[in-house]
Every structure is written in C-alpha cells, then in structure tokens.
Structure 1
C-alpha cells in the first residue's frame, strides 16, 4: 500500500485504573507477607535505590485478590467510553501484559469477555514491559493501514499475586531439609519490591477528536536477543550453562520446591546492558526519523528504578542526544513500576495535566530487560 493511502493515527482518549488505595513502602510486606516469617534484607536496599514511595496492589491488606488482570484492564478501557464513543463502536482490541491471569486463553480475549460489547478483532501482546507498546503498535498499524477506523489498546500488570510470601514457602522448607540457609535468592526477592498493579488504555482513531489529541508520527522496536542472554524470566530457571529450562521440563514437585514460577532477574546482566542498549536503540530510532533532542518537548522514559535515571541521561549525552532533564516526565515515585502499563499511565497523567500545547512533541521510550528489547513512539500534540 502506498504511503499516500495511509491514514493518520491519533490517540484521542486515555484512561487508567489503579486498584484500591496507594500502598507505602512500610506497608508492602504486610500485603505480600514475610518469607519464612522474616523481614526481607533486600527490601530497604531495593526501595532506597528505586525511589518508589507508593504503589498499587490488587490485594486486600490480608493478601486476598481484589481484581484479575483482565478486570483491571477492562476497568481502564470502560473509562474511555461515553455517549459519543461507546463500547460497541470499538473495531479492534489490542492488549499487552507480562502477567496474564492464565497461560490460555489469551489476556485480550478475557478482557473482551468482560467488556461484553460486540464481535471484533482481538490481539494479545505477550512479553514484558514492551508488551504494552507492542499492543499499541498493532492498533497503530491497523488504523494507519485502513484495516480499522479505530482501535483500543491497553497495557496492564497484576504482579502482586505473583509476589506473595506463600508462593515461596515450599522452597524455604526444601532449603531447610537440605540444611541450607532458608533464604530466597536475591534474583527473586529483588523484584518483590519493584513491581506494581494497574492498567492504562488508549483510544486510537483515524481523525482527531475533542480539544486534545496526540498524533502518532512513528513507532520503532529493537531486540538484542540475538546477542544477549535472558535477564528476566518466569516459569523457567537457568541451567549451569546459562540456558533457560522451561517449567514444562521440571517435575510438578520442582515447581514448588524451586519456585519455578517466581519472577526472576539477573541484576548483573541488567546493570551491564540495559542502559547501553537503550542509548544505542534510542539513537538509531532518532537518526532514522531525523529527530533531534530539540524536537522533543517531553521524554517519557519507562524506568524500573530511579537508580537508572542519571546513567541514562549521561548515556544520551555521551551519544550526542542529550535531552535536558526538565523535559523528562515520569510518575514512577507515586505509581510504581507497572511494567507493560507504565507508559500508558505516564502518558495518561501528562495528557490530563493541562500542560500540553499544540505542536509539542513527545517521545515514549520503553526498555524491556527480559532479553533486552526496546520500543519507541513519537507523538505530536494536536
């Protein structure tokens, strides 16, 4: 299809859903529980570095679930609708998450089931933090090509239920029987203090609507899996040679005694590559589309921790793409790291802040540490 036949694509509405009340750092362990009845030694170190002050959990204070991931997502999507654009007007539903409620059916069809609106095309984007951007890109390409006139795209996570202390109890008991220290490895404990719940949703259309729209100029994605090892994973474990062994190749007893389904991260690999490849891919995207730092009014970087902010800024500066710090916009401190939903939640907050002026340009920047993937989007305020 020729470029002249392509439609323009606009983000016309943005909505979010954050479950329950915000949870402070001191309250976290009360919700998630203490592994082996002991306070985590990693908690204070991790929280000091990540700079998060509050986050949201789809849990009661007793650790009971209040929402599924699909429910969080449908709540955010329903907030997009009114008498001028109803749920039955949606032509495509595209949802991304790294924490689906089930191995199957897919996340997006479960969201569709809760919406109960009409027969429509559905897409599920899997992976980690880039899953939300991949869901957005599917919707963007559908509207741009003219396949659909609109798309609802969403990014969400419900990680709190994965981090409950009870899920590690069998591993602790196994360590005791082996007469080893009943302490969960840092690669598992680390992420218990990093991740949060929530959902965000965009309405994409082929023409602007209302007093404020964001035109999607372009989107780009880059994977470094061809040269880098797995860094963040769940439902698997690493073997002695660094290969990944699937849960389906472990016994059901090992699923429990080794916490195979816990989310794990190799923090050494993370420190070694996440910023380096982020800078490299950002520069490639900017050069491809002839964007300079002067062409960016707001940079919305999904960072898992404030620990990385200074390094990322310096990396951009060293690569000749320095973006002044007053242009950076993030809500990590108050909302937490919501993985695939974080970029949606950042843009939702900025969109409704009253700060945006027509003609300004926004860069969305999302890294994914799973096997080092990066996604970018460039928007113009209309």
Structure 2
C-alpha cells in the first residue's frame, strides 16, 4: 500500500461574483413576481456572493463539463502534464447529460490519452466519493496518480421558467425558516463552479502537500426516507416516483425536474446524523478534537452552523471557532465542489504549516449520507 498526497488543487468559478441584489437578474422571476422569501432566506444562509455559469439573459456561458475541464487543466504543469494522467474521477449532482458519464464528457474535452474513468453520482457526497476512488486507486498501487473533481452547474436548473407552472408555499416563513427550504431556499443558495485535486503517491518537493490519512463514509438510507431529490416526486408513502413514470406534460406542470427537499426530514435528521457519523469516524480512527487544527465543514447554509457546533459539543467534540474554515459566504453552496473549493483556498492561503491536521466533513441530505477525510500537511 502506498501513501497518497494531494499535491495540487484548483478551482474554477465562472464569470463575476453575483451579489444578493443581482440574483433575480440571472435566475428570473417566478410568475413575474419578486420572491417574497429571498431576503429572509439570504438572511439565514448569510451568503453574500456566488457564481453562475449564465449571463443576465439566462444563457449558459459554460456547461458542467467545461467548468470541470477548466479546473482540471490548472493542475497540469511542466512536472505533471496531461500525458502523465492515469485516472480521472469526477463527481457531480448536475451532469450535462444522463449518458455518457460526466467523467467521459470531461475526458472528451481534455483530449490527452486513454485513462481510467470513474463517475460518481449523488449530491454533495459525489465529490468525496470521486476523491475516495482516486485515493484508493493510488493507495493500492493501481495507479501512480489521479485527478479527482467535484463540480456543479445548477443555475439553469433554478431558472424561473422551470417553476412558473407551480405555486410555492412559503406560509409561516418568518416563524419557521425551514419551511422555505423545499424549493425557494435552493434558488437562493446553490451556485456553479468546479474544484479539482491532483493525487500522487509522493509529496511535491518545494510545495505544500496534504497526506490523506483516511477517508470514511456513512449512509442512513437503510432507515430514512429520501430528503433531497430531483427528477421525480415524493409520494405519500415516502417512495419516489421517477421522472420516467410521469407524462411529458407533468414534467413541466409539476416541476418534476426541480431540486426539492423534504423539509421535515431535513430539520429532524441532518444535524443529528451528521454528529453521529462524525463521532463514529473520529472514534474509529482514534482522533480527538485536539488533533484537528482546521475543520472544513461543508454546510448548505449558515442556518445550520450553530446547531452543528452545539451537537458536536454535546458529543464532546469541541472544535473552537478559530479551527473552523468556511468560504460559504463568498462562493455559496457549490454542492459536490464546495469541499474542493474550500480546501483549495486553505491550501494556498499561507496559513498552513507542516504537521497541521485538517478534517473535511461533507453531509448530503439526499438520503442522509456523510463523508469525511483527515489530512496532514507535509
């Protein structure tokens, strides 16, 4: 078994940062009416700017494949060229097409040589799943290197015309912000972008590298219903009816392809299961909060931060505020790419010193999955 290092990281955020007041210029107005929930939701999630791969007319400037390629090519240099790449592992929840796979589409733009491909589907954890595939490939000796990515292109999914045939229920929003999370919440939180890591079996000389000590993943799908979904609708019995069982008329009239959340499940389980799984991961690998210098939690909204802190504290995992590293307020929630973009920022911030330990935490409300990685600065 070989050691595995993140030797380089890159991100690609399309176009210019979009402020809160500009958002509806890009996403449009549902039923030609300004959202009554937007300001309330933004007040809760605290996001100030985000990025869209569309212009103000709603026309795409990049697709997901192009966003990913634009992050990947930044990893190439004189020491590691496109011809050196052995594995390309890509995760996303918003592929451009149902088939071929996202990784195959990205490889098609790279035009380098034959490589092993892996595409990880899902929601936020798809980026971590892509990373784990590359990690295990290099660790096992199957390959000497891998490029792993997380990327999202959701702005066109959130365009107003996708919802214009449906009335959004935002009753009691002021008293219960969780109510707005089903659909309108997502319009004012999700954003576009891509991140990429280069994994190698030895650290880079003269540069900061991050050794991957371990990765852990947990799923609670065996006991919990679907919470976040797209391409279907939830029935009264909790089952998901797939898009292929709807008529084309229903696809539009019932916003079948819109991203949705079961807000009651989200409120009840996202934090407790996150705390439970993180506690398991740390106990299994025999680390404590004192052995974490930087904690990078992917959170969908600042709304959840205090609850997560309190839940971890109750479990005896006390991570003081100076250990938390987040960029949600500046780049928004980029789904599977968020953890890549956050770690890239920390890696090149000048803050890291040899021996520092970093804990990555990524939840996914799809059917409640959680992924973790523990890194050491070399």
Aligned-pair CA distance for 1:183: 4.1
Instruction: Structure 2: state its 5+ residue gaps.
Output: 171-179
1:36 pairs with 2:31: yes
User: What is the distance in 1 between the residues matched to 2:218 and 2:34?
Assistant: 39
Aligned equivalent of 1:321, options 298, 317, 320: 317
1:346 pairs with 2:342: yes
Secondary structure at the aligned position of 1:212 is classed as coil
1:310 pairs with 2:306: yes
1:330 pairs with 2:331: no
Aligned to 1:257: 253
User: What is the distance in 1 between the residues matched to 2:56 and 2:327?
Assistant: 24
Instruction: Structure 1: state its 5+ residue gaps.
Output: 1-5, 173-181
Aligned to 1:9: 4
Contact 2:168–2:183 (8 Å) recurs in 1: no
Aligned to 2:370: 374
Aligned-pair CA distance for 1:37: 0.2
Aligned-pair CA distance for 1:267: 1.8
Task: Map 1:1-382 to 2 at 5 A.
Answer: 6-169=1-164, 171-172=165-166, 182-183=167-168, 186=180, 187-210=182-205, 211-382=207-378
User: What is the distance in 1 between the residues matched to 2:183 and 2:327?
Assistant: 25
Aligned-pair CA distance for 1:45: 1.4
CA RMSD between the two structures:
0.9
Secondary structure at the aligned position of 1:217 is classed as strand
User: What is the distance in 2 between the residues matched to 1:161 and 1:183?
Assistant: 18
User: What is the distance in 2 between the residues matched to 1:183 and 1:337?
Assistant: 22
Aligned-pair CA distance for 1:163: 0.4
* Residues 164/184 of structure 1: CA separation in 2 closer, same or farther (3 Å cut): farther
Aligned-pair CA distance for 1:184: 6.3
Count of matched residue pairs: 367
Q: Which moved more, 1:237-246 or 1:220-229?
A: 237-246
User: What is the distance in 2 between the residues matched to 1:289 and 1:235?
Assistant: 37
Aligned-pair CA distance for 1:165: 0.6
Instruction: Summarize deviations over 1:110-158 as a string: whole Å, max 9, x none.
Output: 0000111110100000000000000000000000000000000000101
Aligned-pair CA distance for 1:41: 1.5
Give me the TM-score of the superposition, normalised by structure 2.
0.96
Instruction: Summarize deviations over 1:164-213 as a string: whole Å, max 9, x none.
Output: 011223x24xxxxxxxxx44674222211110000000000000013210
User: What is the distance in 2 between the residues matched to 1:156 and 1:291?
Assistant: 30
User: What is the distance in 2 between the residues matched to 1:192 and 1:120?
Assistant: 36
Aligned-pair CA distance for 1:319: 0.5
Secondary structure at the aligned position of 2:31 is classed as helix
Secondary structure at the aligned position of 1:20 is classed as coil
Aligned to 1:3: none
User: What is the distance in 1 between the residues matched to 2:236 and 2:125?
Assistant: 28
User: What is the distance in 1 between the residues matched to 2:109 and 2:63?
Assistant: 11
User: What is the distance in 2 between the residues matched to 1:7 and 1:222?
Assistant: 24
Give me the TM-score of the superposition, normalised by structure 1.
0.95
